[in-house]
Structure 1
Amino acid sequence: MPPTLVVIIGLLGLAVGSFLNVAVSRVPAGGSVVRPRSACPRCATPIAARDNIPIVSWLLLGRRCRACRVPIPARYPLVEALTAILFVAEALRFGWSDMLPAALVLTAGLLALAACDAEQFLLPRRLIYPTLGLTAACLLTAAAATGQWHRLGVTAACAVGAFAVFFTLHWVRPAWLGFGDVRLAGLLGTGLGWLGPWYLIFALLAGSFAGLLVGVALMAAGRATRHTRLPFGVFLAAGAIAALLVGAPVIHWYESVSDPYATGAPLTAVDHRS
């Protein structure tokens, strides 16, 4: 991908990250992401355009509201910066390809969901379903453009399979998983199924392992017990993004180890930079 397009996608990531902050602040409370105009949650002063520049305004304002000087949470610049960084990383990973739009949409939705889960232990349907619909639309467009309709079948199977497995776990032991995690599993199956089932498996294993590692570390530090609740959606989102960015070499390595007679790149690690 030309450097100019990479920069443009990075700037797009900053703008999308700013929008995600609005969604994280309003959607869990049932608010609209369109109206009213953004304002300070404490003094209700509308935020001027000059104070709404991603990251830059937060720094120039000294991390405080211009009117009442209440601190602005660090989550705002962090989400903006992380969105931009991940957008650039995925542009470099996939190039200008059929998978890039779906990857960007999925990543944006996962970041918003992870922020909601981290702050409120909530994975809102009003974020999951639009992300699911937009991701599916991007993949449908990719299938129409490339003629790879068989990949939609794999995508649907991964989505249904992941949803079914998590639904079963939720039905057996609701304390293990909330139904938001069940819906999120279906979203991950949709977003990663186009690349192949191994990418979904990688995401679920990586997310579960990361959650286990953090839980053990917190218990070892005396900051949690076996009954402490953790935002599992954060770890699933991280696992899915890791699958997008580094899943191909890991899966390629695993398949070469499991089948020493295999030659060439595995089917699940195809180059999408057509």
Structure 2
Amino acid sequence: MPSLYVLLIGLAGLAVGSFLNVAVSRVPAGRSVVRPRSACPRCEAPIAARDNVPVVSWLLLGRRCRACREPIPARYPLLEALTGLLFAAEALRLGPSAALPAALVFTAGLLALAACDAEHLLLPRRLVHPTFALTALCLLGAAAATGQWQRLAVTAGCAAGGYAAFFALHWARPAWLGFGDVRLAGLIGAGLGWYGPWHLVFAVFAGSAVGLLAGLALMAAGRASRATRLPFGLFLAVGALAALLVGGPVVDWYARVLDPYATSAPHPRIAHGGAGSYPGTHDRT
């Protein structure tokens, strides 16, 4: 994979991360992500273009507003850097393929939702629904470009299955699982279904394991109790991103464990159908 291609996708991710910061700051409060222009929340001084360069401006400003010296939260450069790194990693992992735009849109939406859940214990519909729609639209384009309509059908089934499974859990124990998590499960099914249903299973189990370990660590440190609400959407997003990047090899390994006599073909790039193969062939607004 040409390094320039990966670098350009990574730089685009930095810019997208800057926009995600705006969405995380405004959407939970019901504000527009378009207007007004970005400004310091304390002194309301507009952010100049020179102070709006992802990561770099935060460092050059000494982590403070140029006008009033109000500290700028570390979430801003961290989200920008993480978006850039994940975009580059996906470009390297998946290649210049028809389904890469869907993976990037899916990743951006997950990062914004994870940040909202971590800060506000919210998974806003105003982020879930556009991410779902754009991801589905990109995958529709990928199916049209590659002729792999069966993958699109599996994607729709995974989205419906993820939503239905989490809806059942919410109905049985609403105190355990918010409806925002139900919507997120449908989104994760849509984002991962292109690669096969086992990627969705991997994401749910990985996210649940991360959440369990985080909860145990917080309780051991005396920072949480069994009654403490944790951002489960954040952990599901971590599991989904892990499935997107390493799910294929893990699923194939597991398939070989179940059937050691089976042979496994190399993972095709998305340009030829997708990275990975099917094994065996809170209300938080």
**Structure 2 length as normaliser, TM-score?**
0.94
Q: Distance in 2 between matches of 1:168 and 1:91?
A: 36
Alpha-carbon distance, 1:55 to partner = 0.5
SS in 1 for 2:270: coil
SS in 2 for 1:215: helix
Equivalent position amino acid for 1:144 in 2: A
Whether the 8 Å CA contact 1:188–1:240 is kept in 2: the answer is: yes
Whether the 8 Å CA contact 2:193–2:200 is kept in 1: the answer is: yes
Aligned pairs (5 A) from 1:30-69: 30-69=30-69
Aligned pairs (5 A) from 1:186-265: 186-265=186-265
Q: Distance in 2 between matches of 1:95 and 1:212?
A: 33
Q: Distance in 2 between matches of 1:125 and 1:106?
A: 15
Q: Distance in 2 between matches of 1:173 and 1:67?
A: 49
| Map of 1:105 onto structure 2 | 105
Q: Distance in 2 between matches of 1:59 and 1:240?
A: 30
| Map of 1:96 onto structure 2 | 96
- Select the residue among 266, 270, 273 that pairs with 1:272: 270
Q: Distance in 2 between matches of 1:264 and 1:215?
A: 37
Aligned pairs (5 A) from 1:6-25: 6-25=6-25
Alpha-carbon distance, 1:273 to partner = 4.5
Q: Distance in 2 between matches of 1:220 and 1:66?
A: 40
What is the root-mean-square deviation of aligned Cα atoms in Å? 1.0
Q: Distance in 2 between matches of 1:32 and 1:64?
A: 24
| Map of 2:280 onto structure 1 | none
SS in 2 for 1:194: helix
Counterpart check, 1:165 vs 2:170: no
Aligned pairs (5 A) from 1:116-135: 116-135=116-135
How many pairs are equivalent? Answer: 272
Counterpart check, 1:114 vs 2:114: yes
Q: Distance in 1 between matches of 2:268 and 2:5?
A: 23
Unmatched segments (≥5 aa) in structure 1: none
Equivalent position amino acid for 1:92 in 2: L
Alpha-carbon distance, 1:99 to partner = 2.2
Whether the 8 Å CA contact 2:14–2:83 is kept in 1: the answer is: yes
Whether the 8 Å CA contact 2:17–2:83 is kept in 1: the answer is: yes
Equivalent position amino acid for 1:46 in 2: P
Q: Distance in 2 between matches of 1:55 and 1:223?
A: 30
Q: Distance in 1 between matches of 2:269 and 2:60?
A: 42
| Map of 1:80 onto structure 2 | 80
**Structure 1 length as normaliser, TM-score?**
0.97
Alpha-carbon distance, 1:5 to partner = 1.1
Alpha-carbon distance, 1:33 to partner = 0.7
Alpha-carbon distance, 1:264 to partner = 2.1
Q: Deviation per CA, 1:104-124: give whole Å up to 9, x if none.
A: 000000000000000000000
Q: Distance in 2 between matches of 1:118 and 1:265?
A: 39
Q: Distance in 2 between matches of 1:230 and 1:97?
A: 36
Q: Distance in 1 between matches of 2:223 and 2:173?
A: 25
Equivalent position amino acid for 1:241 in 2: L
